[in-house]
Amino acid sequence: MVEISLEIPTYNEAGNLPVLIDRLEGLNLDLEIIIIDDNSPDGTYEVAERLAQQYKNIKTLKRPGKLGLASAISDGLKLASGNYVAVMDADLQHPPETLLKMVEEAKKGNDIIIASRYTDKGRIEKFGFIRRLTSKGATFLTHALLRETRSVKDPMSGFFIFRRSILEGKKIESSGYKVLLELLVKSGSETKVTEIPYVFGKRTLGESKLTVGENLKFISLLLMLSHYRPVKFITVGIVGILVNEGLLFFLHTYFAMSLLFAGMTSIETSILTNFLFNHFWTFRDRSVGGWVRGVLKYNLVALPGAIINLLTLLKLSAITHYLIANIIGIILAFAVNYLGSEMIVWGRAKRR
Ligand code: GDD
Ligand code: MN
């Protein structure tokens, strides 16, 4: 049987909460509702208490102060008794009616059901240019860094249902907004994930709590969930530069090898050592599908990076110092190499 506990985290949502609860109660869904309030100055908790007296399926939790969305979800989970847990915002930007379809998908046996702004008829009613861009940019970065999210169109969604057992023995570690990312990464490859389109509405009352701080938390969550792969990749890259320079010096000065051959040898050697370091360290939980293939692919991925590096150096040196132009070129090449490594060279999980 599918029993659903619906978590609603609130911070200053006194005006929105009664409207949301009325609409939810009208849906004829068998829900347990858990409202987690962080001692909102606008008295949201008192509103929640009143609603809990009116409707028997409501539980409330009051925390001492604003401790963040993810930890509210994680604390609310302790009160949940359903075998599925749903999470939605209190501000009516998530239409309660979408839950009907989502619950249907849970009944079909799906493990994670995501209300999605980016599938089929899903969309956003009103976002400013900057917010739209950050949303798309964040989704792109997430897809690039976390392969477990690549099949999901809206991994940044804050409206979803999950089978409670996928968190068994694990806990929510993030403190920011993106609990769904953690679920997707931690739930393993057998998880059945599906998306239901919805229209992310306008906020009519109160204001968004999504701040610059939240965006920084998102970046650190991405790094944590990716096991700091970009950082490791940069470290390997720096080691590669040392190998390249060192070998060039050795071959050219001590062995009097021509610059062309010494250069080619040291470039290729550093590509190979980088490949090995990345294989056994950065991407140790990934597969290349055979050594020869892996090395060839890695060389192929290094090529466009090198071309971009060179073109940037040539173009930008007209307007700035050539060493600065080269650094910008190196950074761009790094980004291209990293994406290629994530998606093409080490694109698959290791079989266990
Ligand atoms: N208890 C608690 N504590 N609740 C909080 C806190 C907190 O620190 N911060 C925010 N909330 C509640 C809000 O009251 C609201 O019900 C919900 O969490 C979402 O907050 P908003 O501030 O309205 O978020 P948003 O509309 O900017 O972002 C939403 O959409 C994003 C997709 O673009 C959220 O659903 C995000 O998770 C989602 O990624
Ligand atoms: Mn909102």
Domain ranges of the chain: 4-225, 229-349
* Identity at 161, one-letter amino acid code: I
Q: Which region among 14-18, 84-88, 216-220, 271-275 has the lowest average model confidence (pLDDT)?
A: 216-220
Closest by CA to 1, choosing from 112, 100, 81, 95, is 81
* Ligand with the closest atom to the CA of 90: 1
Q: Which residue is closest in CA terms to ligand 1's atom 6? A: 69
Alpha-carbon distance of 223 to 145, in angstroms, equals 8
Residue identified by tokens 């093409």 is 344
Six token digits for residue 152: 């999901």
Alpha-carbon distance of 222 to 220, in angstroms, equals 5
Asked whether residue 352 carries a pLDDT value surpassing 70, the answer given is no
* Ligand with the closest atom to the CA of 214: 1
Asked whether residue 333 carries a pLDDT value surpassing 70, the answer given is yes
Choice from 6, 7, 11 to test ligand 1 binding pocket (greatest atom count within 8 A of CB): 11
Answering whether pTM is above 0.85, one says yes
pLDDT of residue 223: 95
* Domain 4-225: CATH superfamily, name plus number: Spore Coat Polysaccharide Biosynthesis Protein SpsA; Chain A (3.90.550.10)
Does the Cβ of 122 fall within 6 Å of ligand 1?
no
Per-residue pLDDT tens over the stretch 219-277: 999 999 999 999 999 999 999 999 999 999 999 999 999 999 998 999 999 999 999 99
Does the Cβ of 62 fall within 6 Å of ligand 1?
no
Does the Cβ of 177 fall within 6 Å of ligand 1?
yes
Q: What are phi and psi of 74, to 5 degrees?
A: -65, -40
Asked whether residue 1 carries a pLDDT value surpassing 70, the answer given is no
Asked whether residue 73 carries a pLDDT value surpassing 90, the answer given is yes
- In ligand 1, the atom with minimum distance to the C-alpha of 93 is 26
Which residues touch 308 (CB under 8 Å, ≥6 apart)? 329, 332, 333, 336
Per-residue pLDDT tens over the stretch 295-319: 999 999 999 988 998 999 999 999 9
Instruction: Kindly report the average pLDDT of the chain as a whole number.
Output: 93
Q: Which residue is closest in CA terms to ligand 1's atom 19? A: 89
Cα-to-centroid distance, 93 and ligand 2 (Å): 6
- β-strand partners of 193: 112
What 3-state DSSP class applies to 214? helix
Cα-to-centroid distance, 260 and ligand 1 (Å): 58
pLDDT of residue 95: 96
Cα-to-centroid distance, 206 and ligand 2 (Å): 9
Higher pLDDT, 55 or 169: 55
pLDDT of residue 42: 96
Which residues touch 116 (CB under 8 Å, ≥6 apart)? 122, 152, 153, 154, 157, 195, 196, 197, 198
Alpha-carbon distance of 97 to 145, in angstroms, equals 33
Inter-CA distances, 144 with 17, 128, 229, 261, 335, Å:
36, 24, 11, 36, 11
